[in-house]
Amino acid sequence: MLLLKGARTFAPQDLGSVDILVGAGEVLAIESGMGPMPVEVETLDLSGFALTPGLIDLHVHFAGAGGEGGPLFRAEPLSVSSLLESGITTAVGLLGTDGYARSVMEVLQKAYALEAQGISTYIYTGSYKIPSVTITGDVTVDIMAVEKVLGLKIAIADHRSSHPTVEEFIRLASQVRVAGILSGKVGIFHLHVGTCPDPLSIVRETNKRTSIPLYHFLPTHMNRNETVLEEALKFALEGGNVDFTAISDMKRPQAHEAVLKLLEAGVSLDRITVSSDAGGSSPLFDPDGRLLDVKITTPQNLLNQFLRLLDAIGPERALAVFSANPAKRLGLRHKGKIEGGFDADFLIFDDAWSLRGVVAKGSLIWGKI
């Protein structure tokens, strides 16, 4: 067991300075001034530190991605240390443009490897294209039969997508919906959104023509440009959920700026998440569609954007966007908060909000306190 003493704890709500007892990977007790233990425990004195839930990254290419520009531009898989030093204790992997040379099975195997190294992992089946690449040959069966598969990813409104028709999109959404019902999962239809005009029209048309609830749809990269960001605002006000990307490209709206824009417009905080897109490529095309440059995104962007948002709205609300909301969106009922019975995934910050340690599954696995 592990006893963390005296940290000012944001769960995300401010609990003040408390002691937290951890065992078997979960929170056993939270008290102020916890007395002597009846058994021997490892103790960390965290007086003067802040403790928060770990960040949940619901879109990260931990098995590598990219490939625009040719084989030399394929991104390498991410190391567990690169995720931990970015405060990520739960990561959801996926394919990108390349659903041909890369496979969902490859993503699944990397997920198992990272899990063995101490963090929690999940994946989406599919890639940009349709018909969707899968593990079992069927989207519904993937979600039902493979515990780590939380949903399906495709691309829409992008020149690299398969440009699905509304009918094709409805059939895929129905598969995700049924898989969620039969598996007891939420069933996430994760949508890479590009820059084509009216990018969410296919989602709205599906919602109008079917009874599939909006909570299944999670469009991401919704801060790709100002036009897409306006679509994010509109969709969120209509009752949809949106995900922003923690990019470092200053020519695009930054994730923390996008969050603030939506909050100022009256969007509920629980509609918003931010993910890293780490390990993926960020290609730059000229007006004629020719590839000019490719950059590989990093996990550190997620922590950077969290801290920028924290400066603007405080730790309690910022943690909702980066921890509690992603857990709720994905149906991870035991993650995203510091509560009894929840997974013991914590970040330890000093008084300047510099990351000093990471606890995952109840063990201090990164940093020195």
What is the percent of the chain with per-residue pLDDT over 70, rounded to a whole number? 99
User: How open is the CA angle 190-239-256, to the nearest 5 degrees?
Assistant: 70
What is the three-state SS of the chain? CEEEEEEEEECCCEEEEEEEEEECCEEEEEECCCCCCCCCCEEEECCCCEEEECEEEEEECCCCCECCCCHHHECCCCCHHHHHCCCEEEEEECCCCCCCCCCHHHHHHHHHHHHHCCCEEEEEECCCCCCCCCCCCCHHHHHHHCCCEEEEEEEECCCCCCCCCHHHHHHHHHHHHHHHHHHCCCCEEEEEECCCCCCCHHHHHHHHHCCCCHHHEEEECCCCCHHHHHHHHHHHHCCCCEEEECCCCCCCCCHHHHHHHHHHCCCCHHHEEEECCCCCEEEEECCCCCEEEEEECCCHHHHHHHHHHHHHHCHHHHHHHHHHHHHHHHCCCCCCCCCCCCECCEEEECCCCCEEEEEECCEEEEECC
- On the 0-12 / 13-18 / 19+ scale of CB atoms within 10 A, 286 is exposed
341 or 69, higher pLDDT: 341
pLDDT at 36: 84
pLDDT bracket for residue 295 (50, 70, 90): confident
What is the torsion angle, in degrees rounded to the nearest 10, for the CA atoms of residue 204, residue 205, residue 206 and residue 212?
Answer: 60
CA gap 208, 220 in Å, rounded: 21
**Domains defined for the chain, CATH in brackets:** 2-52+336-367 (2.30.40.10), 55-326 (3.20.20.140)
Average pLDDT score over the chain:
96
pLDDT at 237: 99
How far from 279 is each of 59, 71, 83, 92, 207, CA to CA, in Å? 10, 15, 11, 12, 32
Res 179 pLDDT > 70: yes
| Structure-token pair, residue 162 | 């398969």
Res 368 pLDDT > 90: no
How far from 116 is each of 24, 112, 119, 269, CA to CA, in Å? 15, 6, 7, 33
The residues annotated with a catalytic role in the active site are 277
Q: What is the pTM of this model?
A: 0.96
* Stretch 115-134: mean pLDDT: 98
pLDDT at 283: 66
pLDDT at 294: 72
Of 69, 120, 185, 40, the C-alpha closest to 343 is 120
CA gap 154, 82 in Å, rounded: 26
CA gap 253, 224 in Å, rounded: 7
Q: State residue 128 phi and psi, 5-degree precision.
A: -65, -35
CA gap 213, 189 in Å, rounded: 11
Q: Tell me the per-residue pLDDT of 216-267, one tens digit each, with 9 for 90 and over.
A: 999 999 999 999 999 999 999 999 999 999 987 777 899 999 999 999 999 9
Q: Which of 35-49, 311-325, 344-358 has the lowest mean pLDDT?
A: 35-49
